[in-house]
Structure 1
Amino acid sequence: MTDLEYEKLSDKTLDHLSEVFENIFDSGDFSDIDNDITYSNGVLTVNLGPKLGTYVINKQTPNKQIWLSSPVSGPKRYDYMNGTWLYKYDRMSLNQLLHQEFSKMFKKDFKQFFFDLNDN
């Protein structure tokens, strides 16, 4: 993948995830969750308050990766393979992990939000 392809793809992914998180919090009653979503300069931060923690998803341009810091599963580095961002060690996609963690955290299935991209 060229640098330009990586930039376009990673920007598209982070833009999409930013919308996903906004849509999730617009979709139901999350008034008890102090959430704050910011996306700037290639860094997406989803702050869920002191009880649930903060997700940070960012571009890692030199490695052509997307990095995730999750309050649930910790840090992971995703490479773009077979049409999706995959974590090499468990072969789970970024969308799969976020879907799993958010669904468990909020006891609601968010599949329709996280699988808008190429993941199935």
Structure 2
Amino acid sequence: MNHTEGHDVSQKIDTLSDSQYSRVADEYLESISDELDLLAEDHDQLDFELSHGVLNITIPPNGSYVINKQPPNKQIWLSSPLSGPKRFDLVGGKWTYLRDGTQLSNLLAGELGEAVGIDLQFESVDQ
């Protein structure tokens, strides 16, 4: 059973088979990578690589981000130089941090957009 701040959240988390999780998580990371590819066209300081379920992003002045699949937990984990480590579960089709409801796409767009000085939206992600 998953608990967050004393509340049972297990019924909120999308139920996925191992193969469904793998497909959804891979598609999500590929979508983020595609969005970063577009962003990098105008911001050459952005460096990123997606390999074997791990997305590494480096962007000054923030530093390095690591986003990776965690198949045993069916989560995506984020290590951010600004907001720290977080674990995201799939809730309603969106990767969500259960402690405060933050969506991974919004968190990344906010932090990376601030680093390059634009209002960034990951439009094709989470659809």
> TM (normalized to structure 2)?
0.82
Residue in 2 that maps onto 1:13: 28
Whose strand fraction is larger, Structure 1's or Structure 2's?
Answer: 2
Deviation at 1:116, TM superposition (A): 1.5
Whose helix fraction is larger, Structure 1's or Structure 2's?
Answer: 1
Deviation at 1:115, TM superposition (A): 2.7
Residue in 2 that maps onto 1:2: 17
Residue in 2 that maps onto 1:56: 66
Within the candidate set 86, 90, 94, 2:100 is matched to 90
List structure 1 segments (4+ residues) > 4 angstroms apart after TM superposition.
none
> Could you tell me whether the CA contact under 8 Å between 2:59 and 2:112 is conserved in 1?
no
Partner SS for 1:63: coil
Deviation digits for residues 72-116 of structure 1, max 9, x if unmatched? 1111100000110000011010111011112222221111xx132
Within the candidate set 21, 25, 39, 2:50 is matched to 39
> Could you tell me whether the CA contact under 8 Å between 1:95 and 1:115 is conserved in 2?
no
Question: What amino acid maps onto 1:93 in structure 2?
Answer: Q
Aligned length: 112
> Could you tell me whether the CA contact under 8 Å between 2:88 and 2:104 is conserved in 1?
yes
> Could you tell me whether the CA contact under 8 Å between 1:54 and 1:70 is conserved in 2?
yes
Q: Which sections of structure 1, spanning at least 5 residues, go unmatched?
A: none
What CA distance in whole angstroms lies between the structure 2 residues aligned with 1:90 and 1:99?
A: 17
What CA distance in whole angstroms lies between the structure 1 residues aligned with 2:95 and 2:89?
A: 5
Residue in 1 that maps onto 2:11: none
Residue in 1 that maps onto 2:80: 70
What CA distance in whole angstroms lies between the structure 1 residues aligned with 2:65 and 2:37?
A: 14
| C-alpha RMSD of matched pairs (Å) | 1.4
What CA distance in whole angstroms lies between the structure 2 residues aligned with 1:25 and 1:18?
A: 10
Larger radius of gyration: 2
Q: Which sections of structure 2, spanning at least 5 residues, go unmatched?
A: 1-15
